Amino acid sequence: MNNSVSSDVSLSCLQPEPKLLPAGGSKRSLYILTIIISCLLLFSGHLLVMRNFPALPENRANLIKAEIEKIISVKESPSGLNAEKPNLRINFSATLNSGEHQGKKVIGYQSIDFNNPANSTAQVKAGDRVLLYEPHKSGESLTNLSNYVFVEYDRSGKLLLLLGIFCAAILLFGKVKGFNTLLSLILTILMILLVFIPGIIAGYNIYVMTLLVCLYATLSSYLLVIGYNAKAYAAVSGCLAGVIAAGFLAVICNYWLKISGITGDEAITLGNLPLPHKLDLQALVFSMVLIGALGAVMDVAMDISSALAQVKAQAPNLTLPELYKIGIEIGQDLISTLSNTLIMAYIGTALLTILVLSASGMPWNFFFNREHFAVEVINGIIGTFAILLTIPLTSFISACFYGQKTNKKHRR
pLDDT grade for 84, boundaries at 50, 70 and 90:
low
Q: Is residue 162 part of a domain?
A: no
**Residue 312 falls inside a structural domain:** yes
Residue 81 pLDDT level (bands cut at 50, 70, 90): low
- Tell me the per-residue pLDDT of 283-324, one tens digit each, with 9 for 90 and over: 888 898 888 888 888 989 999 999 999 898 888 888 888 899
Helix-strand-coil split of the chain, %, nearest 5? 65, 10, 25
pLDDT band with cut points at 50, 70 and 90 for residue 369: confident
Residue 33 pLDDT: 92
216 and 306: one domain? yes
Amino acid occupying residue 208: V
Confidence grade of residue 17 (pLDDT, cut at 50, 70, 90) = very low
Residues 110 and 27 in one domain: no
- 112-168, pLDDT tens digit by residue? 876 666 566 788 899 999 999 877 655 555 554 567 889 889 999 899 999 999 999
Same domain, yes or no, for 264 and 322?
A: yes
- Tell whether 165 is covered by a domain: no
The answer on 334 and 232 residing in a single domain is yes
Total domains in the fold of the chain? 2
Give me the pLDDT at residue 2, please: 42
pLDDT score for 379? 82
> Do 131 and 65 form a contact (C-beta atoms < 8 A)?
yes
- The span from the CA of 37 to the CA of 42, in Å, is 8
pLDDT of residue 272: 77
Nearest to 302 by CA among 228, 368, 391: 391
Q: Tell me whether residue 275 is exposed, middle or buried, using C-beta atoms within 10 angstroms of its C-beta: 0 to 12, 13 to 18, 19 or more.
A: middle
Cα angle 201, 205, 210 (rounded to 5 degrees) comes to: 90
Give tens-digit pLDDT for 161-199.
999 999 999 999 988 888 999 999 999 999 999 999 999
Tell whether 167 is covered by a domain. Answer: no
Q: Which residue has the higher pLDDT, 153 or 262?
A: 153
Flag whether 164 is in a domain: no
Q: Is there a domain that residue 40 lies in?
A: yes
In a shared domain, residues 269 and 191? yes
**Segment 329-367, tens digit of pLDDT:** 888 888 877 777 777 777 777 777 777 767 777 677 777
The DSSP annotation for 92-135 comes to EEEEE-SSTTTT-EEEEEEEE-TTSGGG--PPP-TT-EEEEE--
Which pLDDT score is estimated for 190? 95
My answer on whether 68 and 15 are in the same domain is no
- Domain with 355 in it: 2-54+173-411
Alpha-carbon distances, residue 219 vs 164, 200, 383 (angstroms): 26, 22, 20
Model's pTM, two decimal places?
A: 0.78
Output 349 or 29, whichever has higher pLDDT: 29
Q: Residue 336 has what pLDDT?
A: 74
| Torsion angles phi and psi, residue 360, rounded to 5 | -85, 0
Q: How far is CA 85 from CA 88, 272, 295, in A?
A: 9, 37, 44
pLDDT-based confidence at 38, cuts 50/70/90?
very high
pLDDT tier for residue 260 given thresholds of 50, 70 and 90: confident
Would you say residue 8 has pLDDT above 70?
A: no
